[in-house]
Amino acid sequence: MKTKVCIVAFLALGAFCPCASAQDNYRGGIVYGPKAAFNISAPDGWVLDNQAGASQGLPCVLYPKSESWADARTVIYAKIAGTQFEDVNAFVAMAIKDMEKTHGKPKEKVASGKTADGHDYFINEYPASKTYSQWERVAYVQLPRAVAYIVLSSRDHASYQKDSGALQQVLKTFAYLKPEIAQQKDQELTVKQDAPKVIETDDMKVAMKAGELETAGKYDEALKLYAQAIDLKGRFTPFVYHNRGMLYLHRAKTSQNQKSRIADLERAIADFQTSIRLGAASNEELKRGLEKVATRANLDEATKLLEEAAH
């Protein structure tokens, strides 16, 4: 399930954090970034998957055993915020401000506690709104010089009510690891098992660099790299269009110039439509899921904003 979540805000903000599978049955994994890393395990009845969301920049996702990432009513994913964020409160304040027009104000600190290894966390709740269909809650954890966050996202309120407790179950397994320790554990796991690895294609690598530039606010440079990634015509292409569409959508939402805002919304709509079309023609389940959940939701949002901007 590719959710709009944090596609709108967090995906653009978070560092690309690989997730190493810790067991053959995918109950646990290590999420690591440049400054920090942490280990989590799936709650009972859930699995941790290090492949299903990798093409979307989410290499550590969890979903119920009886479902799949593309079709699950509720999913969880874990990341580490971009390297420019070392303070949890600064990161959360920025995220709330960025999402306010879409989400409205969240319910802040609906729960708090300590992770398995004693790190403080708190949870914000982001109810669905007229412009955002997902029900979400996000756990934020302050780490040494880094911020970890774990997102639970549900397609509807009933699923949210049923599954929201899974987030705190994950937090009960949370353990901070220094990056060098995480790397050592990853290498040990690779020796012990034949864990599946994400194959990074050329277009994916270029798109990831574009995402880093986007995070730094260098939109023009990011757009040039997205164009290069598209020209490569690789298997990541549907997601490149989606991610570029998100850049246009994000820029439009922050623009004070109506003409520029409309132009970016039109570009976003075109990219989302292309992403859906390419995904629908694919044999891969994940790409076909673009139509059902993520890109369709973002397309609807961009279309509504364009209608409002034009009047």
How many degrees, rounded to 5, is the angle at CA 204 between CA 26 and CA 65?
Answer: 20
For residue 309, is pLDDT > 90? no
For residue 260, is pLDDT > 80? yes
Would you state the pLDDT for residue 90?
Answer: 93
Would you state the pLDDT for residue 277?
Answer: 87
For residue 7, is pLDDT > 50? no
For residue 12, is pLDDT > 50? no
Q: State the chain's mean pLDDT as an integer.
A: 79
Burial profile 108-129: b = 16 or more Cβ within 10 angstroms, e = fewer: eeeeeeebeeebebbbbbbbbe
Would you state the pLDDT for residue 269?
Answer: 94
Would you state the pLDDT for residue 294?
Answer: 54
Predicted confidence band of residue 76 (pLDDT cuts 50, 70, 90): very high
Distance CA 182, CA 81 (A): 17
3-state secondary structure 200-260: CCHHHHHHHHHHHHHHCCCHHHHHHHHHHHHHCCCCCHHHHHHHHHHHHHHHHHHCCCHHH
Predicted confidence band of residue 95 (pLDDT cuts 50, 70, 90): confident
Q: Which pLDDT tens digit goes with each residue over 96-141? A: 888 777 777 899 999 999 998 899 999 999 998 887 888 999 999 9
The more confident residue out of 216 and 273 is 273
Predicted confidence band of residue 226 (pLDDT cuts 50, 70, 90): very high
The more confident residue out of 257 and 190 is 257
Predicted confidence band of residue 17 (pLDDT cuts 50, 70, 90): very low
Percent of the chain with pLDDT over 70: 77
Distance CA 74, CA 64 (A): 8
Would you state the pLDDT for residue 28?
Answer: 66
Residues 5-31 have a mean pLDDT of: 43
- Which run of H or of E encompasses 99? helix 88-103
For residue 146, is pLDDT > 50? yes
Sorted by where each starts, the structural domains of the chain and their CATH numbers stand as 5-192 (3.40.1000), 202-309 (1.25.40)
The more confident residue out of 99 and 68 is 68
Q: Which pLDDT tens digit goes with each residue over 280-301? A: 776 655 544 455 555 676 788 8
For residue 193, is pLDDT > 80? no
Predicted confidence band of residue 216 (pLDDT cuts 50, 70, 90): confident
Distance CA 272, CA 77 (A): 23
